[in-house]
Amino acid sequence: MPEGLSYAAAGVDIEAYERVLERVKPLIAATHGREVAVGVGPFAGLYELPGGRHLAASADGVGTKIKVAIAAGVHRGIGTDIVNHCVNDIATSGARPLFFLDYFATGRLDPEVFTQLIEGMTAACTEAGCALLGGETAEMPGVYALGDYDLAGFVVGLVEPGRRPDPNSIRAGDAIVGLPSSGLHTNGFSLVRKVFEDVPLSKVYPELGRPLGDELLEPHRSYLEPLTTMRWKGAAHITGGGILGNLPRCLPEGLGAQLDRKSWSEPPIFGLLRKRGRVSNDEMLGTFNMGLGMVLVMDSSDVPSGAMVVGEVVSRSGPDRVMIR
C-alpha cells in the first residue's frame, strides 16, 4: 500500500475546487437580485418571499459511492443518501423541506436499478415530509459506460419567520454539540475506494463485524428531526471537506471552534481507513465526518440533557479556525 494516501491523490482536490469557486463567485453574484438573502457559501441558498419567509434551496450528488453500489448490486440506499444529504443542507438554514427533484443519467436504463433508487428516494422523502415532485432520466450511451450511472438531487424548503439562524448571535463560550453519523455517509469515497481497491466487498473485518460492502453503503443519516426540535444558533453539515472544512461555515468571522477529540466515539471504519491507507490525521479530519454528521452551536443553557457536547466556540481568526485536541 503506498505511503500517505490522500483525497487529492485519489483524484479529488478540494482546495483546487475552492480556488475555482472564488474565481467564479463574482459571475454568480451578478445574477442576484435583492431577493437573494444568502448566496454561494453556506449549505443552502436563501430567497426572500413577501412576509419575511424564505425559500431555501440546495443541490448535491452522491459521488463515487455509486461505484460501490454498482459493484454490490444494491442501489436503494443511494436514493436515501441523495435525499437526506440535500435535506440536511437546507435544515441548517432552519428550513422545512417542501419538494425534491432528481436527475438520473446512465448509459442504458436498467429498470431494476432505477426502481431501487426511486424506492430509496420516496422512502426518504416520506420521512422528511416532502414531495418527490419530478426529475429527469437521461440515457446517454457514449457518455456513461453500460452499467454506470450518476444521481443528483435538488431540494427546496421553506424558512418561516423567526426560524432563520443568525450567525451574529454566536458568542465565544457557546457549546458545540455533535450529532453522530451512521458512518461515511456520502463523502470521501474516491479515497475510500483507493484504500480498499483490492478488497472484496464481502470481506468481514473484525472491527467492522459485517461485510465491508454493507459498511460502505450504510445510508446517510437525516438530521431534520433534531434540527427542528432543538434550539440552536448555527449548524454545520459535515460533508465534503470534513470537520475542518465545514464547521467554520456556520461561524462568524473572528470565531473558531475548540473540539475535544475524546468527547465522541469514532466509528471503526475511520480507524480502518487511517490504518490501511496510512492516511494522516489532518487528511482524515479534512475529508471525513469522523463520526459527527452534524454539528450544532448552542447557548450552553439550551443544551438538552444527554446531548453530546464536543467542544466550544472560541475567539480565533485566520484560515485554521478549528482546533482539535
> Looking at the predicted structure, is the pLDDT value of residue 259 above 80?
yes
User: Which of these three, 123, 143, 159, is where a domain ends?
Assistant: 159
Q: Are residues 101 and 139 in the same domain?
A: yes
Q: Is residue 313 part of a domain?
A: yes
Rounded Cα distance, 213 and 257, in Å: 34
pLDDT, tens only, 144-176: 999 999 999 999 999 999 999 999 999 999 999
Q: Are residues 188 and 261 in the same domain?
A: yes
Q: Are residues 141 and 172 in the same domain?
A: no
Pick left, alpha or beta for residue 129 (phi over 0 → left; psi -120 to 50 → alpha; otherwise beta).
left
Q: Which three cell numbers stand for residue 312?
A: 466550544
> Looking at the predicted structure, is the pLDDT value of residue 257 above 60?
yes
**How many domains are contained in the chain?**
2
Which of 78, 74, 121 has its CA nearest to residue 101? 121
The pTM score is 0.93
Contacts of 26 (CB under 8 A, 6+ apart): none
Q: Are residues 113 and 154 in the same domain?
A: yes
User: Which of these three, 119, 136, 159, is where a domain ends?
Assistant: 159
pLDDT, tens only, 132-146: 999 999 999 999 999
Residues, the chain = 325
> Looking at the predicted structure, is the pLDDT value of residue 229 above 80?
yes
Mean pLDDT value across the chain: 94
Q: Are residues 80 and 153 in the same domain?
A: yes
Q: Are residues 203 and 314 in the same domain?
A: yes
* CATH number of the domain that residue 43 is part of: 3.30.1330.10
Q: Are residues 319 and 188 in the same domain?
A: yes
Q: Are residues 313 and 216 in the same domain?
A: yes
Q: Are residues 145 and 237 in the same domain?
A: no
Q: Are residues 183 and 302 in the same domain?
A: yes
Which residues form the domain of 62?
Answer: 32-159
pLDDT, tens only, 27-83: 988 998 989 987 676 899 999 999 999 999 999 999 999 999 999 999 999 999 999
Q: Are residues 197 and 228 in the same domain?
A: yes
| Strand ranges of the sheet holding 149-159, from the earlier edge strand across to the other edge | 36-38, 45-48, 54-61, 149-159, 96-106, 131-139
Angle at CA of residue 155, ends 86 and 227, nearest 5°: 55
Rounded Cα distance, 81 and 190, in Å: 16
